[in-house]
Amino acid sequence: MRAIQGELKCNSDFDKLVGGQVWMILWLELSILVPDADVAIDFLGPLPSGDYLLVIIDCFSRYKEVEVLRKITACETANRLESIFVRLGYPRTITLDNGRQFVSNEFDEYCKTRGIVLNRTTPYWPQENGLVERQNRSLVKRLKISQALKKDWKQDLFAYLSMYYSTPQSTTGKTPTELMYGRNIRTKLPSLQDITTAVPFTDFADRDQQAKEKGKERGDVRRRAKPSGLVVGDKVLEKNLIPGNKLTPTFNPSVMTVTAKEGARVTVEDNNRRVYQRNCSHLKKLGSEQNYADKGEALNVMAPVGDHHEVERLRSSELLMERPDESSTTAADLSSDPASPLAASSSPVVTMPSEGGRARRNTKMPNRFNDCVMEY
């Protein structure tokens, strides 16, 4: 900057320049040396479909954005520019022509509130905004090819932009994305980046990994997560994930078999050889290590005809595996004892079956049901 200012002082015409104009020239000279500092915009159209193309190009990196618009009002133009600038940042200057939407008070106010300087070209002299005009010519050529081949011009436009972003420019020797973002984007062409996808070890990558591990530990404690005991070959019930009415059982009565497991993802297969993938938390295991109260709740559902025998077989096998506690005193033993108060009572005593080897308390039938016959 000092060298440029020194050259201006040596110039004989320096006295003709006002101080503010000098610094404006310095600003414009330096703004083209960084990405997204000075951009040029222009409209292309109307196309045969009635659409317009808003072309925005960065003067340094040659990176461009193309927006398809149906209306080219000042409000719509400002909204589209805002959607781009919130991702790429607000430029310092915008070079544009004297279109009706660009000279409106609404567009001027939009740029003024965001600190953007407008450089309008001379009327009827498009060569002053030649960078964007040259890009428009390339776009028109691509759209003509699409029209001749009777293809979707919007899809061809995306393909053209992908090819443009990954092609080095003859003037800079770099791709537009490399100068704009500092990296080349991944395309359909294979590259060395496809061989290794590991994140390079850096201090912020290590800090990010530690934060993720702490978040996982807090989440596991909050959800009371524990390792899954499912293995290949287990019989499971699938949780009903589709919303139903209030009487819909929690688990589907169809018994499934675990065929594969990878982490928390479990592959199950039903009796009709249909394969599903579910998270292990959506499956309930049917086995002796489970509490019978949970298994009885899962099995106590209306089973379809095809699965009724399978459910009954599993229920019988689970009941046979249970052993009642022989040391527990039953109601019949108490009633046979003359000293027992139950022997003098005329009300029948109902003995509930034991579950899990633990004795259940004896329940006395109310006197009002003495003349009733109860079936269990």
pLDDT tens sequence across 85-140 = 998 889 999 999 988 889 889 999 999 999 999 998 888 888 888 888 888 899 99
The predicted pLDDT at position 328 comes to: 42
Based on the domain organization, do 286 and 137 belong to the same domain?
A: no
For 217-257, the pLDDT digits (tens) are: 898 888 888 888 888 999 999 998 887 788 888 888 889 99
Based on the domain organization, do 32 and 173 belong to the same domain?
A: yes
The answer to whether residue 25 sits within a structural domain is: yes
The predicted pLDDT at position 246 comes to: 82
The predicted pLDDT at position 376 comes to: 57
Based on the domain organization, do 144 and 246 belong to the same domain?
A: no
* Burial status of residue 164 (CB atoms within 10 A of its CB: 0-12, 13-18, 19 or more): buried
Number of domains in the chain: 2
State the residue for tokens 């001027």: 108
- Mean pLDDT, range 32-46, rounded to an integer: 77
Based on the domain organization, do 173 and 258 belong to the same domain?
A: no
State the residue for tokens 């149906």: 70
Task: Mention every residue, 6+ apart, whose C-beta is less than 8 A from residue 356.
Answer: 291, 292, 293, 322
356: confidence class by pLDDT, cuts 50, 70, 90: low
Amino acid sitting at position 156: D
315: confidence class by pLDDT, cuts 50, 70, 90: low
pLDDT of residue 209 exceeding 50, the answer is yes
The answer to whether residue 162 sits within a structural domain is: yes
CATH number of the domain at 30, please. 3.30.420.10
The predicted pLDDT at position 18 comes to: 44
Based on the domain organization, do 154 and 287 belong to the same domain?
A: no
The predicted pLDDT at position 359 comes to: 67
Based on the domain organization, do 263 and 152 belong to the same domain?
A: no
Based on the domain organization, do 240 and 311 belong to the same domain?
A: yes
169: confidence class by pLDDT, cuts 50, 70, 90: confident
More confident residue, 200 or 51: 51
375: confidence class by pLDDT, cuts 50, 70, 90: low
For 339, what's the count of Cα atoms within 13 Å in the CB-facing half-sphere? 0
Domain encompassing residue 248: 235-321
- Mean pLDDT, range 158-169, rounded to an integer: 90
The predicted pLDDT at position 28 comes to: 42
The predicted pLDDT at position 342 comes to: 44
Based on the domain organization, do 165 and 35 belong to the same domain?
A: yes
In the sheet where 93-96 sits, what is the strand order? 64-69, 52-58, 38-44, 93-96, 117-120
The predicted pLDDT at position 367 comes to: 82
Average pLDDT of the chain to the nearest whole number: 75
pTM above 0.75, yes or no: no
Instruction: Read off the tokens for 174.
Output: 């770099």
For 51-71, the pLDDT digits (tens) are: 999 999 988 888 999 999 999
Among 154, 181, 208, give the residue marking a domain's end.
Answer: 181
Based on the domain organization, do 148 and 244 belong to the same domain?
A: no
More confident residue, 271 or 24: 271
**Region of poorest pLDDT, from 76-90, 101-115, 180-194:** 180-194
Q: Are 116 and 90 in contact (CB under 8 A)?
A: yes
CATH number of the domain at 244, please. 2.30.30
The answer to whether residue 228 sits within a structural domain is: no
Task: Mention every residue, 6+ apart, whose C-beta is less than 8 A from residue 283.
Answer: 230, 236, 237, 238, 239, 256, 258, 266, 268
Among 321, 338, 369, give the residue marking a domain's end.
Answer: 321
235-239 and 283-286 strand pairing: antiparallel
- Mean pLDDT, range 206-220, rounded to an integer: 87
For 254-280, the pLDDT digits (tens) are: 899 999 998 889 999 998 899 999 998
The answer to whether residue 335 sits within a structural domain is: no
43: confidence class by pLDDT, cuts 50, 70, 90: very high
The predicted pLDDT at position 253 comes to: 87
The answer to whether residue 239 sits within a structural domain is: yes
Based on the domain organization, do 167 and 266 belong to the same domain?
A: no
33: confidence class by pLDDT, cuts 50, 70, 90: very low
For residues 245 and 306, give the distance between their C-alpha atoms in angstroms, rounded to a whole number.
Answer: 23
Based on the domain organization, do 160 and 42 belong to the same domain?
A: yes
Based on the domain organization, do 26 and 108 belong to the same domain?
A: yes
pLDDT > 70 in the chain, percent: 68
For the chain, the residue count is 376
pLDDT > 90 in the chain, percent: 25
Among 302, 321, 340, give the residue marking a domain's end.
Answer: 321
The predicted pLDDT at position 201 comes to: 65
For residues 20 and 320, give the distance between their C-alpha atoms in angstroms, rounded to a whole number.
Answer: 97
More confident residue, 244 or 341: 244
35: confidence class by pLDDT, cuts 50, 70, 90: low
More confident residue, 323 or 282: 282
The answer to whether residue 211 sits within a structural domain is: no
The answer to whether residue 375 sits within a structural domain is: no
